[in-house]
């Protein structure tokens, strides 16, 4: 189910087809009769049928299903029991003087594959349900705008046709007694020959018996095709393709306009009108909802295509060089020089250039461009070159075929793989330094017997300089320190990196020391503490709980007191003393215990 809801969408170009193309339309109403005449019914049919009969020796290029009705819309329908969900929905409103604001909708879906597979057949449309809308809002039946219907447009290719430009414009616009005139300017057309030019409309809610001021004007000329579509009642429930006047409250009409356009025109102005005074001087107007407009115009155009010949990759470099060829084959006109070319990587624009030469029909030119792939993109890429693309999906040249401007190639950059390894850890031997065996990291690497090199920086790896000479006995210089290793591999070497982490390992606290100046065990030597836990605090208490010493990284305990009025500087007697060691490290709690001082 679509999430795209467009309110009162102006009629704009939806798709363009250039080549030996034409179109036909088929569909049916879900109204049992014209709602303006038969006022007894306030519902719609659950299904209706229509036949598709393609001309011989033609190929379906595109097919679109449209369905419309009163209310806010039904996004899910079926065609020959095949479920179809809307690609988009359009809504318009009419402020009725009696019933207030009323909403009408139209949906469409691309069903090219389904129509191509099914081919010529009777198509049954079902699943469009607006019964709740009609039940809950009496305005639709009250003002006789209760309607529903469907239509399929089929664009096809026929080798016997001239070169045509088929433009499909769509949206949803409304005219009524409140807005009696609508002008729609269709641009993006290219008239090179007006012979056989035609224009088609899909419209809803037209009534045959409401013919007050109702007209279609093309470039200031009223068009008609009587008796089916008279000049003063263009939207009257008819289907030009079947010559039917029972397409109740819907119109699938097509008109020849070769006398209404001129060679060289690049736009067509369409004016729709409704509303006029009846014999009693009262304003009467039909409510008409325009869903789409399609033009078929003879056209002579170039056709730019591109081919990627080769993409040159370099090891460890995100620059790529693309060799390509631009063609103007299967065309009917010269392709001018300076046609823009866009280069995308995974749909992200990474470069642009232009064609150099004017290319006559059947000609080509070679080119080369070097572009840089952004670091944000992965190594596995889809490279797309698009000719006639300014870099945002739009072009500068009208072509026979606007859908064949791209060339693709999947590549994998020869970027040097850089992979992290688990860190090597060792205990602090002082001032955040320790000795490491760097070769222990190779347990995490598949070396395939290759000679491995260790470096202190990424730049050293790239330049292959300043290799670490003795990796089995290496002292870190900072903490943490990143070490890089280089492993030869095809097509490029691999780089791994890991950190050297110096840890504060638990200190070892002795239970006795002898401060007798014999040069042996003369101080309370807590191994793994000094110059490792640099912020530590040591507190010594006597057996009575009196604090007699406070020390830090610069003040070890040598058996003397530095606290207390009577004890400061004195050598303490033999005995048991108690300590509190505050390591001031979040990984450790306060350590407490006893030590025996022996003279």
Domain with 462 in it: what CATH number? 2.60.40
- Domain identity same for 268 and 330: no
**Which tokens hold the place of 481?**
């320190």
Q: How confident is the model at residue 518 (pLDDT cuts 50, 70, 90)?
A: confident
Bridge partners, 508 (sequence order): 527
Q: For the chain, give the mean pLDDT.
A: 90
CB atoms within 10 A of CB 399: 27
- Domain identity same for 315 and 427: no
State the residue for tokens 């990984």.
Answer: 587
- Domain identity same for 123 and 101: yes
- Digit-coded pLDDT (tens) for 365-394: 999 999 999 999 998 999 999 999 999 999
- Domain identity same for 238 and 209: yes
- Counting Cα atoms < 13 Å in the Cβ hemisphere of 180 gives 12
CA–CA gap between residue 346 and residue 476 (Å, rounded): 42
- Domain identity same for 277 and 324: no
- Domain holding 570, by residue range, is 507-599
- Domain identity same for 12 and 141: yes
SS3 115: helix
Domain limit, last residue, from 412, 447, 462: 412
CATH number of the domain where residue 317 is located: 2.60.40.10
Q: Total domain count for the chain? A: 4
- Domain identity same for 548 and 585: yes
Q: For residue 103, which of 114, 94, 90, 115 has the smallest C-alpha distance?
A: 94
Q: What is the pLDDT of residue 180?
A: 87
- Counting Cα atoms < 13 Å in the Cβ hemisphere of 402 gives 17
- Digit-coded pLDDT (tens) for 73-109: 999 999 999 999 999 999 999 999 999 999 999 999 9
pTM for the structure as a whole: 0.55
- Digit-coded pLDDT (tens) for 275-314: 888 888 888 888 999 999 998 987 777 889 999 999 999 8
- Domain identity same for 425 and 531: no
- Domain identity same for 192 and 171: yes
- Domain identity same for 385 and 514: no
Name the pairing type of β-strands 148-158 and 21-29: antiparallel
Distances (CA, A) of 263 to 155, 195, 298, 484, 526: 23, 9, 10, 71, 101
Domain limit, last residue, from 387, 412, 437: 412
**Is-contact 552 536, C-beta < 8 A?**
yes
Q: For residue 64, which of 35, 36, 84, 39 has the smallest C-alpha distance?
A: 84
- Digit-coded pLDDT (tens) for 519-566: 889 899 998 888 888 899 999 999 888 899 999 999 999 999 998 767
- Domain identity same for 287 and 310: no
Alpha helices by DSSP H, listed for 458-557, are 458-463
**Which tokens hold the place of 528?**
């793994």
- Domain identity same for 148 and 288: yes
For 396, counting Cβ atoms within 10 Å of its Cβ (0-12 exposed, 13-18 middle, 19+ buried), the class is: exposed
Domain limit, last residue, from 478, 503, 528: 503
């Amino acid at each position: 189910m679509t999430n795209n809801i467009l309110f009162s969408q102006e009629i704009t170009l939806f798709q363009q087809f250039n080549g030996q193309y034409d179109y036909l339309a088929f569909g049916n109403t879900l109204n049992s009769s014209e709602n303006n005449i038969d006022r007894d019914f306030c519902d719609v049919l659950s299904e209706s049928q229509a036949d598709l009969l393609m001309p011989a020796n033609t190929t379906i290029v595109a097919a679109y299903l449209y369905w419309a009705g009163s209310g806010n819309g039904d996004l899910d329908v079926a065609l020959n029991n095949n479920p179809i969900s809307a690609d988009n929905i359009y809504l318009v409103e009419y402020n009725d003087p009696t019933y207030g604001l009323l909403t009408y909708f139209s949906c469409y879906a691309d069903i090219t594959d389904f129509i191509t597979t099914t081919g010529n057949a009777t198509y049954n449309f079902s699943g469009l349900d607006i019964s709740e809308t009609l039940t809950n809002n009496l305005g639709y039946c009250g003002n006789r705008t209760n309607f529903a219907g469907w239509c399929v447009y089929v664009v096809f290719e026929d080798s016997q046709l001239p070169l045509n430009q088929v433009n499909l414009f769509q949206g949803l616009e409304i005219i009524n007694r409140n807005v009696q005139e609508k002008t729609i300017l269709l641009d993006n057309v290219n008239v090179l020959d007006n012979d056989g030019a035609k224009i088609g409309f899909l419209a809803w809610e037209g009534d045959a018996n409401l013919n007050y001021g109702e007209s279609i004007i093309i470039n200031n000329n009223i068009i008609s095709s009587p008796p089916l579509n008279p000049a003063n009642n263009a939207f009257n429930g008819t289907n030009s393709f079947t010559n039917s006047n029972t397409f109740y409250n819907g119109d699938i009409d097509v008109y020849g306009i070769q006398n209404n356009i001129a060679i060289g025109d690049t736009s067509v102005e369409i004016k729709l009108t409704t509303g006029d005074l009846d014999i009693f001087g009262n304003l009467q107007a039909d409510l008409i909802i325009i869903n789409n407009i399609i033009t078929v115009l003879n056209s002579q155009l170039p056709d730019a295509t591109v081919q990627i010949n080769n993409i040159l990759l370099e090891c460890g470099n995100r620059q790529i060089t693309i060799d390509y060829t631009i063609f103007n084959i299967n065309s009917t006109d010269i392709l001018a020089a300076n046609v823009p070319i866009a280069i995308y990587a995974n749909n992200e624009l990474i470069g642009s250039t232009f064609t150099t030469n004017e290319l006559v029909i059947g000609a080509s030119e070679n080119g080369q461009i070097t572009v840089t792939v952004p670091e944000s993109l992965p190594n596995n890429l889809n490279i797309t070159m698009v000719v006639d693309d300014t870099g945002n999906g739009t072009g500068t040249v009208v072509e026979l075929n606007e859908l064949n401007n791209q060339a693709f190639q999947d590549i994998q950059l020869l970027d040097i793989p850089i992979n992290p390894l688990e860190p090597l850890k060792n205990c602090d031997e002082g001032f955040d330094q320790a000795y490491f065996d760097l070769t222990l990291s190779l347990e995490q690497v598949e070396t395939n017997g290759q000679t491995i090199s260790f470096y202190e920086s990424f730049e050293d790896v790239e330049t292959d300089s300043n290799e670490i000479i003795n990796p089995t006995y290496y002292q870190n210089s900072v903490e943490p320190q990143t070490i890089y290793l280089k492993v030869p591999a095809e097509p490029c070497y691999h780089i791994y990196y890991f950190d050297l982490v110096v840890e504060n390992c638990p200190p070892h606290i002795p239970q006795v020391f002898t401060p007798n100046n014999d040069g042996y065990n003369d101080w309370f030597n807590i191994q793994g503490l000094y110059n490792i836990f640099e912020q530590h605090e040591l507190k010594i208490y006597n057996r009575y709980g009196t604090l007699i010493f406070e020390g830090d990284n610069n003040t070890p305990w040598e058996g003397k007191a530095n606290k207390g009025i009577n004890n400061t500087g004195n050598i303490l007697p033999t005995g048991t003393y108690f300590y509190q060691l505050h390591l001031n490290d979040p990984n450790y709690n306060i350590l407490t215990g006893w030590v025996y001082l022996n003279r």
